[in-house]
Amino acid sequence: MEQSTGLSGPQARVAASDILAAIDLSTGSSAEQIARLEQAISSIDRLGGRCDDEIDRLSVLRMKESLRLLAGPDSTGGGGVLPGLATWDGTLLLDEVHVTGPLKQMYDQPAMPKSPETLRRYRFALSEMFHQQSHLLAAAGTSYRASMAAFADPAVRLLELGVTAAWTARHLDDYLQALGIPQLAPGIEQVSLPDGYPSYLPAAEALSTAIGRRVGLAPDEVLRRLNAVTPAGKWPEMTTLLLNASGLGAVVPPDHRAAVAGRVDQAMRAPLRAMATLRVTDGDEPGVQATSRAAGLASVDAAVGTIAAVRREYTTH
């Protein structure tokens, strides 16, 4: 009997995570880097094609978004299905078959009974729209486009995608309620979607919880603040929260504070960069998620250790 080549959703998401971890933009010409990115995109397309469940397949294909942002527009048209993309110029691209099409059907057939499978398609389409809209959020005086260069750092990609995926997963029902969707699609709140991004999302959640514990904020409030700023803006948001709560301002002269903030920033990046580039070929999804959570905690521990070291430097001289 011929052995099945199909993959479960968890298996495919871990395999896609491994492909993302293997991306190296530190060597080769720009053309060579783009070729590697396009090859990785094709590899994830093949993984998605091996998933029997439609929503599992889409959760894998969504993981191409960072590769497409790095590689630039798909000039050949052969990049396969990408459910959604927030491009650097602020354009929101949503796939017609899997996002805008199901939403049109939902609005054309309001309040009609639907199968769980159809409700899952609706829920995924709405989650994709919510997810991509979150990427475009920016604080006053900043822009999403300005993070384009910073996105080359794997730690930046992990935090941006992890925070956005976590916020989407945890607040999708709030989003649906605000749009009046449960009245249009009764039962949509009873169907579920996979979280996705097993190497990224748990780190973002653990980091938000650890920062909240340190600064006296609810984890969800930390996550909200991170979700509301650009990929590059997430780092000063975190360091400012931690440094303000530390009381270091009382011992560090004003003209030294930017350098101290930079040290804390770099300390936080190291564990997340290690997680973003960790090959997980032989891992299972719960194991990868656990490792990701540990990286999020290690990032905050590194910041706390750096703050303690700075305190000693300025109080023993």
pLDDT of residue 1: 36
The CB density around residue 266, as the number of other CB atoms within 10 Å, is: 16
Angle at 121 between CA 173 and CA 54, to 5 degrees: 125
Beta strands (DSSP E) in the chain are 84-86, 92-94
Pick from 101, 97, 102: which is nearest to 82 by CA? 97
Long-range pairs for 101-106: beta carbons < 8 A, 24 or more residues apart = 101/125, 103/129, 106/181, 106/184, 106/185
Per-residue pLDDT of the chain (317 residues; tens, 9 = 90+): 344 579 999 999 999 999 999 999 988 899 999 999 999 999 999 999 999 999 999 999 999 999 999 999 887 766 689 999 999 999 999 999 999 999 999 999 999 999 999 999 999 999 999 999 999 999 999 999 999 999 999 999 999 999 999 999 999 999 999 999 999 999 999 999 999 999 999 999 999 999 999 999 999 999 999 999 999 999 999 999 999 999 999 999 999 999 999 999 999 999 999 999 999 988 899 999 999 999 999 999 999 999 999 999 999 86
Q: Return the domain boundaries, the chain.
A: 9-315
pLDDT of residue 3: 44
The whole-angstrom separation of Cα 263 and Cα 118 is 49
**Under 8 Å between Cβ of 201 and 166:** yes
Q: How many CA atoms lie within 13 A of 300 on its CB side?
A: 22
Pick from 264, 241, 164: which is nearest to 205 by CA? 164
**Under 8 Å between Cβ of 84 and 62:** yes
Q: Which amino acid is at 111?
A: A
The whole-angstrom separation of Cα 89 and Cα 291 is 34
